[in-house]
Amino acid sequence: MYRPMYRSMMTESRDDRGTPPLREGESADLAAVSRYLRRLAEEGHGFAMGPRRVRSLAGGFNNLIYEVDTSAGIFLLKVYPGDRARRLEREFAALTRLASLEEVPNAVFADSLAAVLNAPVLIYDKLPGSAVVPASMTREDLALLLGIAVAVHGHRDPGDPLLAPPAGPSRPADCLAYMDETMRAMSASPAMNDPSFCRTVDRLLDLRRCLAMADLQPALWADAPPRLCHGDLRPANVIKAERDVVGLVDWEHAGIMDPFYEIAGFFWHPESAALASGLREEMIAVYCEKSADPHAFEKMDVYQAILPVQWCVRILSLIEGYDRQAVRPWNELRPLEALWEDLERYAGLAGKRLGTALRGPV
């Protein structure tokens, strides 16, 4: 295992500063990646030495990923958009902080402005396996994932100032504030000229009023400090190798937040809709039982009332800003029709959770 190393842009070689930076949506090609690795080998970095085989793995939502196979092992090289150095720093800090967990990639090298590529780069060990298919996730898979979450959430002190800023809500009131701000913005949108959109906004405002009347038990969070969290916990970031091995990747959103929100958020994420029936409730109970918080079940109940409404607001916001979304060439926007279907499903779940009759279809 290599000792992780971080290099800031202040140490870049001067002969590469004239190379133009990556433009929005532009790919760093294999030749450039190979030149960069050759330079690292010349500088004495053992992971880059010897014969190298580099292949593109396309990318994440915003990043490009390359697999680098050398005599030292198999690594992933992650190229961030040029303006996302802060995400690189956060991910490197998280991987370094959690280096004792085998289910988290081992960070090898981070470069805030990589020579040749002129973009932030992170290199880390490739975990065995591939991304899970939510519909095939078993009770055992989810139990292993929750075990990772419990270990991560055990860190009250993130151990690095880069991880100290909030990565998400610290209490339910933050979720409500997000909804209110988003609804205010949409209420001033030209989309309100569409009667169907306007009716949908009214319906979501009804749901928000139901939340205002519900007992969300704010006192439960009075003495509950947020913990270190992954920040983007969803099936797409879970890797499965063997029957009893799972891993968790993509830590660029890691930081401090309410761990109960993170777990509830995983099971209410649209990607988790394909989980087998009954697993959500069962595994949420498993997490609560593992938690040392005496109010675990009550807190989770509060978030399970809030999250369907929050997803309604989030999805309608995506619909309203559909034509303004920036999408990388290797990604496709979810079709508008599918977003409306998602919204209808979440609105139904929210109505059921809140026990209220809502007017008409979306």
Q: What is the DSSP string of 27-54?
A: PPPHHHHHHHHHHHHHTT-GGG-SSEEE
pLDDT in tens, 30-78: 889 999 999 999 999 999 998 889 999 866 678 899 999 998 999 999 9
Q: Which long-range contacts (CB under 8 A, 24 or more apart) does 29-33 make?
A: 30/54, 30/55, 30/56, 30/66, 32/116, 32/117, 33/66, 33/68, 33/77, 33/79, 33/117
- Domain 5-126 listed as CATH 3.30.200.20: yes
Nearest CA to 210 out of 10, 357, 317 is that of: 357
- The residue assigned the tokens 């059921």 is 352
List the chain domain ranges. Answer: 5-126, 134-354
Mean pLDDT score, 300-326: 95
**What is the pLDDT, as a whole number, of residue 227?**
95
Alpha carbons 102 and 247: distance in angstroms, whole number:
8
First to last CA, the chain: 54
The pLDDT assigned to 248 comes to 97
Average pLDDT, the chain: 89
Q: How far apart are CA 313 and CA 180, in angstroms?
A: 9
> What pTM was computed for the model?
0.90
List, for residues 179-204, the tens digit of each pLDDT value.
999 999 999 999 999 999 999 999 99
Distances, alpha carbon 86 to alpha carbons 122, 183, 223, 253, 348, in Å: 12, 29, 30, 10, 38
Superfamily of chain region 134-354: Aminoglycoside phosphotransferase (APH), C-terminal lobe (3.90.1200.10)
Of the chain, the percentage scoring pLDDT greater than 70 comes to 91
pLDDT over 50 at 357, yes or no: no
Whether residue 356 is predicted with pLDDT greater than 50 in this model: the reply is: no
